[in-house]
Structure 1
Amino acid sequence: MPPTEEPWQRTSNRSSQATGRIAREGHMPETATAPKAEPFRASIMQIEPQWIDYNGHLNMAYYNVMFDRAIDEFWLELGIGPVYKKERHGSTFTAECHVRYLREIHLGDPVRILVWLLEADDKRLHTFEEMRHATEGWLSATSENMSLHMDMNARRVAAFPPDIQQRIAGIARAHSDLARPEGIGRSVAMPSKR
């Protein structure tokens, strides 16, 4: 029996054929497989030298850049990538974001981000992301987000089209079977002194 892998160790949620098609077309193929009950694993990312600040570690702003890149990959899984915006005039705007910085990332550290779709309705997506060292697995940061679906012609919040709602609902159902990661719903607060 093969050893059990942690989610951050697996290479991708997508087959190489689907991944290539996503890269070319900017959306999931119509014949996409049923969603798996595991967090979405974004591609492994490398820290760029200009992202390192005077403290010698990844600057806080670039954690958000990396989380955003992972969400862009996840949006392709949902069918709401660049082609969707171009052809169907819909997109998402981030309404709220909370990032926790837990352990430093340095130049040369490979990073993998895992994404959970916690909740979804006809207009909103509630996601949680973990940034992990891609080979050692330790947790560096988390990001929790609320994204709104936008009609880009009206530039107003609008419902997802029915086919997209169906795809999102399938992934949300699969993710609802997962253990919820630690840190969901956290807020900024000073611990009380005793």
Structure 2
Amino acid sequence: MTQPAPFVSRVMEVEKDWIDYNGHMNMAYYNVLFDRCSDEAFDAMGLGADYARDRKLTIYTAEVHVCYVQELHLADRVTVTWQLLDHDEKRLRAYQEIRHVDGWLAATSETLSLHIDMAGPKVAPFPADIQPRVEAMRAAHAGLPMPERAGRSIAIKRRTA
């Protein structure tokens, strides 16, 4: 199975209920778009809703860093990319971008996700049949450049006198 590099979501549209009193999409719904794309990427690796239901194994988000670049508004149409930057036997580090269908960048997200055995719940290794699918996604993404916005931290930079 050939994996796209990066993975690209279906086209999604900003919904009426997502617009806040400032007239643009509320910050929480950027995460909804990122999450919907993640679900599509997880499905492509065999880690989607069926996997959780049938095998009682799933993915939890451990950490996320979102940067809001340009506002989205009602009915804007976007796609979201998902790039697997790194992984080990229990974790996935991914970078995402929300882009308007016209091409401009709206937001970025970097996420650390954990593979979970829901019986615990506890962090658990990917099963032997899933690990190669994760590795295939990483191999497909290995040739992509490291995104400039990946690895950012939050700080207030002080000017020195």
Report the TM-score when normalising by structure 2: 0.96
Once the 2 structures are TM-superposed, how far is the Cα of residue 174 of structure 1 from its aligned partner?
1.4
Larger relative contact order (Cα-Cα within 8 Å, sequence gap ≥ 6): 2
Q: Which residues of structure 1 form unaligned runs of 5+?
A: 1-32
Distance 2:47 2:11 in 1: 21
Match of 1:12 in 2: none
Matched, 1:35 2:9: no
Report percent identity of matched pairs: 47
Q: Which amino acid aligns with 1:107?
A: L
SS of the residue corresponding to residue 163 of structure 1 reads coil
Matched, 1:149 2:149: no
Distance 1:165 1:188 in 2: 32
Matched, 1:56 2:17: no
Distance 1:109 1:163 in 2: 39
Q: Deviations over 1:103-162 (max 9, x none)?
A: 01011210110110000111000000000001x100010000000000011210000101
SS of the residue corresponding to residue 162 of structure 1 reads coil
Runs of 4+ in 1 over 3 A off after TM superposition: none
SS of the residue corresponding to residue 168 of structure 1 reads helix
Distance 2:148 2:98 in 1: 13
1:74-113 correspondence runs (5 A) = 74-113=41-80
Q: Deviations over 1:45-101 (max 9, x none)?
A: 101101000111000011011111110111001101111111111001100000000
Report the TM-score when normalising by structure 1: 0.80
Match of 1:177 in 2: 143
Once the 2 structures are TM-superposed, how far is the Cα of residue 35 of structure 1 from its aligned partner?
2.3
More strand as a share of residues: 2
Match of 2:98 in 1: 131
